Every structure is written in C-alpha cells, then in structure tokens.
Amino acid sequence: MKKLTIAALVTSSLLAANASASIVMVTDPGTSSKGNSAQIIAAPNAVTNSTVSNLGQQGFNEQQLVSLGSDLLVDGGSIVSGTNVASHMIFLNNPNGNNSLNSHENVVWEFSSNILGVMSDSGGTLEAASSALLGATGTTYPSAFGARGFEGPDNYIIDGNKLTVSMYVTQPGDWIRVITDVPEPASMALFGLGLMGLGFSRRRKNQA
C-alpha cells in the first residue's frame, strides 16, 4: 500500500507540474539605459499604458492551460486549434509624461516549455484580440492602440524555450504576449499509471 500511495503522489505531482508552463528565469546582460534590471513579477491589476510603468523589462504569467478552440494568430502565422497553450506578457513602459528614450537590450527570458509564437504587432491588435482568452485573471487589458507593440528597432529572437528581447521605448511603451506549449497531461497520466503498475507488481512479489 505504501508503494501505491507513493506512486499516486508522484503521478499527481507530475500532472500538476505539466498542466502549466511559466517563466522560470530572466537573464539580463546589463541594465536598461535607465539603470534597471529585468524582473519576473506577479500579474498586475491592469496593463493599460497609464496605469503601470517600469524602467526595465518585466514579465509575468497569464493563463496557464488553455486548449485552443480555434487557430490563434501570432506574428507571421497561427497556432492550430486543439493545441494546449500557456500565455505570458513582457513589457517596458515609461511613466506617464516621460518621453525620454529607454533602451533595454538582449534580455533572455526562459520558459518551462517551448515557445510557439509571439504577438508583437505595432498596433497591439493580436494581443487585444486574445486577451479575453489568454489574459491573466483579475488583470484589466486595453483595446488595441497605436504603438502598443513593436516598432522601429524593437526585436526578439526565439530559441526553443528562450526568447531574447530588445526594446526601445519613449511613450507609449512596448507590450508583447508570448505563447508557450503545455505538455499533454494524458502522456503524464500514462507514465503515472506505469508507476502504479510497478507498485502493484512489487507488492505482489513481496507477498509471495
């Protein structure tokens, strides 16, 4: 019985761990031009341009397990319906009235699973269209507006589960949504059943 209990606990832990995908690390090669380092934060109450600001890139997790009911548009393409995804936001936004340039380059954001796509269009239309589905619970999101996303020299590079981001902002700031994969819980359940079967087998041998 003890072995079966352990197997069940391991199964439960594996399923819980693989039902989400989060930001696990951020590596900053220096600081922003205003002297601040990149940070992982909790989802703020609002991400409208006038309500939240920072002086260095910040990122937070949004919805962690969404099964897409239709194709999801991202930069340069789409993620197919039926895919399990998690969502995250990265932003750099000067305080209101501060129009001086703030640059924050080559910040590496690492996620617990692979990146499937990014929403960074200049007008923020992809972000706005997906916020009802992917936005963090309790966070207020704006409608699309000019220069919400990337423009000019802003850029990112995807490398598996890592995203290297460079942002150059005055007003308004830059906001992008990152979509990552969420491993199928079913595959982990099968693994867990195998562990439980092993527990049964060993228990029977001990009783023999």
Q: Is residue 86 part of a domain?
A: yes
The domain tally of the chain equals 1
Taking 70 as the threshold, does the pLDDT of residue 193 lie above it?
Answer: no
Q: Is residue 156 part of a domain?
A: yes
Tell me how far apart the alpha carbons of residues 208 and 202 are, in angstroms, rounded to a whole number.
10
What is the domain extent for residue 84? 20-186
Q: Is residue 52 part of a domain?
A: yes
Tell me how far apart the alpha carbons of residues 144 and 73 are, in angstroms, rounded to a whole number.
15
Q: Is residue 11 part of a domain?
A: no
Tell me how far apart the alpha carbons of residues 26 and 40 are, in angstroms, rounded to a whole number.
7
Beta partners for residue 27, in sequence order: 108
Question: What single string gives the DSSP state of each residue in 151-190?
Answer: -TT-EEEEETTEEEEEEEESSS-EEEEEEEE---HHHHHH
Q: Is residue 12 part of a domain?
A: no
pTM of the full predicted structure? 0.82
Q: Is residue 10 part of a domain?
A: no
Q: Is residue 204 part of a domain?
A: no
What does the pLDDT read at residue 19? 65
126: tokens are 């992809």
What is the tens place of the pLDDT at every residue in 69-121?
Answer: 999 999 999 999 999 999 999 999 999 888 899 999 999 999 999 999 999 99
Q: Is residue 55 part of a domain?
A: yes
What is the tens place of the pLDDT at every residue in 21-70?
Answer: 999 999 999 999 999 999 999 999 999 999 999 999 999 999 999 999 99
